[in-house]
Structure 1
């Protein structure tokens, strides 16, 4: 079994959590079978002409040779790089175990069914979801230096440890059937139908009408498909329909506007990249991130380098649609 650990890279505590998980998995299957991004790509020490692109290439190469993925997702703002990797793996038929310690659940309406994540695509694409949402048991001690803050810290570390152990257990319990594991879509490599539709994914972060890109595509004479998961009676079934629609379309046009790429857009970009679908990212007002020794990135590098075109206005959208 070859395992890829997908995790948020930008803070020390996230990297440390992923390293702890990697250590536990390595103890079961061997360290050579575990890939830990940032660590195994030597992100701080790597020297390359275009470092961000090289990191993307290294991660994508490993994504193409997997048996399983464990993805760490916490809170309502889901890391776009992790979501892109989940979409890539799931569309390739790779089992994805998603681990969360979030104590919130989500719904699309006030009284609608509860979902584990804000976007139902995550729930639809996960082979297993490991959810450990409660603190560990209180630690009772009479030690004079044991403050309430120390006690609270210990309850959190106990919760984290239990979650990581549960994720390892779920990983080892996956069906031993190679990359095409039960419960995961297997659509990568499906050739796009000639003359097929353009799938348009709007951004929930933009104030502008969410259908402006769909209207532009339709006005240009293209058949347009839009997401079903936000209006379907069964959101998870709608999400699976969205995945199938993207991977059978000729193109994906995703609005990636916002503080980060919306999780659904990132997931679909990953799935489209795995399936050989043409992808454009629409972002009229890019915001750049800067990391030592790396070129400025206008989105998470896994999203930025997965797309073929970055479009910032209506004319650019029409030019991309008109291009062969």
Structure 2
């Protein structure tokens, strides 16, 4: 049963298939400080355990649960939806964005966690140790593991995605998939499997609802994972340009911060509704201030879902010494291959 404070889950950002009502959408965001979201009730999942143990979605709260339908509707309409915890944020039930943070209202830990903090912490440690292992392999090759001097690099196991060597993309295998490249350690595998199982139990009902509706209530084909991994945004990174992750329909990005996000850590900024704009891969020819953006400052373990085609960018990390680790996965009901972001590359396995 949804709590009454979820009555505004469907955020009134006016969009159509052809274009965005820019003035109305800008006014909505400016006045209400909201972004498309759905509140996951406390009882929907045992957040202290992964779904591989006794954790499960309750029988009376499966895909017909209201929060699932709200999330699917937001994804369909705006191409963006955050899944957030169910504790009250404040008396007005607004959601924290960068404007709140600029005003000094940093209210992390004000909501119930979705993926338990202990799971996030173990996964964060596993990701950090994995990056260290890979960077040592790069050193063994005689190369710069930061990418700062030699420029961006690409291996099967890790990709440096900026000129300054401060932004790393580290693909990892999903549950049950075949490992390619340098194997994970046992500890890394255990932590990431626990995390992926917990994440999948929350995300899969939403995407089943989204794609069942899109196919006129016909049964959807099995969901699969096109990619999974971690994005490491280190101090000194620069903001990215607006971009889409790909042009194809039927792919959903899933981002989970493993630390509480603040503006200085470089959260993800998105342009709701741009998934339905045709032939737009960037903001070329479009003034940035003409489109309303949202920058959800999620807590550790909350989940950001957005359409592969939604224009977005990672902001720069302006903190002095704190990295932002974000887990990602790409769900699809199409071919489970992401060639746009992961072309062929060398492996570090034998270095």
TM-based fold match above 0.5: no
TM-score (norm 1): 0.30
Q: Which has the higher helix share?
A: 1
TM-score (norm 2): 0.28
Q: Which has the larger radius of gyration?
A: 1
